[in-house]
Structure 1
Amino acid sequence: MTRKTVRIAMNGVTGRMGYRQHLVRSILAIREQGGLDLGDGTVLWPEPVLVGRREHVLKAMAEKHGIEHWSTDLDAVLADDTIDIYFDSQVTSAREDAIRKAIAAGKHIYTEKPTATGLDGALELARLAQAAGIKHGVVQDKLFLPGLLKLKRLIDGGFFGKILSIRGEFGYWVFEGDWQEAQRPSWNYRSQDGGGIVVDMFPHWEYVLHELFGRVTTVQALTATHIPERWDEQSKPYDATADDAAYGIFQLEGGAIAQINSSWTVRVNRDELVEFQVDGTEGSAVAGLRNCRVQHRSSTPKPVWNPDLAATHSFRDQWQEVPDNQADGFDNGFKVQWELFLRHVFLDEPYHWDLLAGARGVQLAELGLKSSAEGTRLDVPEISL
């Protein structure tokens, strides 16, 4: 076996998602398994170079995990010819400029979403990357969740017949920060800093719907800022200027209708933090992060509406669990997509979750906000380079 080192500039991994999912559970996990076997006698050995603004945090993180290189100078890192890939998990408002610099430096790009604060910027990044001839990918992690992988298995097997509708429920209660510490950073609730649940979650819903059920053709959304005042990391009150809940209806190519509620102001009364119910002519399914339950047409009970009598059975018990059917279980979804992107870069294997796919997510968020502001249903035009 030949070991090939791939150096990855990782910008923004001092944040919660960047640190836990991308650094620890993806890149460092690949190292712990001995690297990524490409199957041609080569093992890729990822070498992260941590990039950020807070020197003391970077230094402590590097020491904790035995990482040799870190820097607060992004320009210097991008000027280093030994850096192969630039990864970005910064706050959204800082992402576009950094990716633009990385493209100009000839680095392959892998990035969190949204890729930019607006559709024009997102499309420009995709065009620049294409013109530069580099490889580029966007994190679309929910496609690799065990629950959605099981759901895709059902779709591919024709379980549903004609799919009629998709109902999604996502969210949980994010504490305001006054009497209990908030679980999300304060910038998420300031529109001037790129915050808001629409720009955070609609890009996810775009690729989930697009990949599993069909392209989104129209969107109608209503947003709300249910909690107008929150407390930041220094326990100081601030005005929440971004939406903390969004209620969306999406028409899909092929005729199915999706309705997805997204909220940071909802208390959880479901099995998982996100669930999708899919109803079709032949059967239905409810998929979450890890589990998936089904009810086929042949075993569907015949409920009768009678509010005068108490229910004598549990509706949930009438559904059947979909088995894992994978001997080695499911790997971390972020890690799986990292491995696919690395194989794309070094083996040129197919990979379609690129910056254009990321731009579709930005487009849907932009149109969702516009729909709410105007009180209208809007078409979602196909975009291309």
Structure 2
Amino acid sequence: MTHTTVRIAMNGVTGRMGHRQHLVRSVLALRDQGGLELADGTRIRPEPVLVGRSAHKLRALADRHGVEHWSCDLDSVLGDDTIDVYFDAQITAAREEAVGKAIAAGKHLYVEKPTASGLAGALKLARLAQEAGVKNGVVQDKLFLPGLRKLRRLVESGFFGRLLSVRGEFGYWVFEGDTQPAQRPSWNYRAEDGGGIAADMFPHWEYLLHELFGPVRSVQAHLTTHIPRRWDESGAPYDATADDAAYGIFELAGGIVAQINSSWAVRVHRDELVEFQVDGTEGSAVAGLRHCRIQHRAGTPKPVWNPDVPASEPFRAQWQDVPDNADFDNGFKVQWELFLRHVVRDEPWRWDLAAGARGVQLAELARRSSSEGRRLDVPEAIR
């Protein structure tokens, strides 16, 4: 059996997302299962090299997971000819410079979103990667979640008929940090550090809308900071300068209207932390991270509005679960597998830095829309 080892410099894996999803549940999971097996029996074996600023954290992480190599010297790691791929899960403000260095070093790239703090930086990275001829990818994990893979199946089968609208609800209550520790890092709430829910979530909404329903043609958004004072990891109070809620209306190609609310200041009254309802002339669906439920035109009840009597219809019970019909692995791991196939075998890949720039563009337009109080068209250049 032939083995191909891919050495991956993983920067930012001491953080929650980088550690849990990318290192443990993706790269180490692939390593521990003996690698990714290809059709001809070849196995791609990922070998992580941990990179970061804290030697103490990196050493502890390496010891815990049996990782041989780690370093606090990014330049030295990028200068190592045995490193094939650079992965970045740092805070947004640090990403553009590090990715630029990796491109200059000739490394293939796989990066978290947003790819840069602004559109100009995101487009520059996409251009530099193309000119350098390095393979590049952006994490677009929600496309690979079970509930949304079922939703894609419905779209591609024509279940909805003519698509009319998409309504999304995302968020949960993030504690301020005074009486209970916050579930998210404090930099998320500081604009000067690249924080803000629009910067974080609108890139997700862009690729989901683009891939499942059509390109975004216009955006109208309202961004706000509902909780202006929070407490950081050391217990010190600070002013929240970034938006913690964003309310957006998007017009898609074909006249489809999408409305998505994103908030870290909302309490959850739904089955999952994110849910999308899609309505079409022939049917509707509600999809979350794992589940997907449908109601076809032929089975749609005929409710009558009567505020004078209590509701008697079991509305939730009138929907049908979409079966799994497949084994769904971790969404981050699935996309890592596709990227490694792209690097080693040049298999098809479309989630590149240009696609990532579209997400940065949408977040930037949302901020402008909110500050100017008007709807903005999405330029065609990187649609």
State the TM-score, normalized to the length of structure 1. 0.99
Structure 1's unaligned 5+ residue stretches are none
Alignment of 1:1-385 (within 5 A): 1-326=1-326, 329-384=327-382
Distance, in Å, in 1 between the alignment partners of 2:176 and 2:354 is: 35
Write out per-residue CA displacement over residues 218-262 of structure 1, whole angstroms, 9 at most, x where no aligned residue: 000001100000000011100000000000000001110000000
Distance, in Å, in 2 between the alignment partners of 1:213 and 1:165 is: 10
Distance, in Å, in 2 between the alignment partners of 1:4 and 1:299 is: 52
Write out per-residue CA displacement over residues 327-385 of structure 1, whole angstroms, 9 at most, x where no aligned residue: xx200000000000000011111100000000000000000000000001000012349
Distance, in Å, in 1 between the alignment partners of 2:382 and 2:158 is: 30
- Deviation at residue 322 of structure 1 after TM alignment: 0.4
Moved over 6 A (4+): none
What one-letter code is carried by the residue in structure 2 that aligns with 1:361? G
Distance, in Å, in 2 between the alignment partners of 1:383 and 1:377 is: 18
Distance, in Å, in 2 between the alignment partners of 1:223 and 1:362 is: 15
- Deviation at residue 32 of structure 1 after TM alignment: 1.6
What one-letter code is carried by the residue in structure 1 that aligns with 2:362? L
SS in 2 for 1:254: helix
What one-letter code is carried by the residue in structure 2 that aligns with 1:346? V
SS in 2 for 1:207: helix
* Conservation of the 8 A alpha-carbon contact between 2:358 and 2:382: no
Aligned residues: 383
Distance, in Å, in 1 between the alignment partners of 2:135 and 2:2 is: 23
What one-letter code is carried by the residue in structure 2 that aligns with 1:378? L
Distance, in Å, in 2 between the alignment partners of 1:382 and 1:138 is: 21
* Conservation of the 8 A alpha-carbon contact between 1:360 and 1:383: no
Structure 2's unaligned 5+ residue stretches are none
- Deviation at residue 41 of structure 1 after TM alignment: 3.4
Q: CA RMSD in A?
A: 0.8
Distance, in Å, in 2 between the alignment partners of 1:41 and 1:146 is: 27
Distance, in Å, in 2 between the alignment partners of 1:302 and 1:57 is: 59
- Deviation at residue 183 of structure 1 after TM alignment: 0.1
- Deviation at residue 37 of structure 1 after TM alignment: 1.1
SS in 2 for 1:99: helix
* Conservation of the 8 A alpha-carbon contact between 1:249 and 1:259: yes
* Conservation of the 8 A alpha-carbon contact between 1:30 and 1:36: yes
- Deviation at residue 295 of structure 1 after TM alignment: 0.4
Distance, in Å, in 2 between the alignment partners of 1:5 and 1:165 is: 45
- Deviation at residue 31 of structure 1 after TM alignment: 1.1
With 37-46 and 87-96 compared, the bigger mean Cα shift is at 37-46
- Deviation at residue 195 of structure 1 after TM alignment: 0.2
Distance, in Å, in 1 between the alignment partners of 2:74 and 2:323 is: 46
* Conservation of the 8 A alpha-carbon contact between 2:169 and 2:276: yes
SS in 2 for 1:251: strand
SS in 2 for 1:241: coil
Distance, in Å, in 1 between the alignment partners of 2:38 and 2:81 is: 23
SS in 2 for 1:219: strand
Distance, in Å, in 1 between the alignment partners of 2:8 and 2:254 is: 40
- Deviation at residue 2 of structure 1 after TM alignment: 1.1
* Conservation of the 8 A alpha-carbon contact between 2:58 and 2:70: yes
What one-letter code is carried by the residue in structure 2 that aligns with 1:94? A
Distance, in Å, in 2 between the alignment partners of 1:293 and 1:123 is: 38
Distance, in Å, in 2 between the alignment partners of 1:21 and 1:331 is: 12
SS in 2 for 1:180: coil
Distance, in Å, in 2 between the alignment partners of 1:350 and 1:44 is: 17
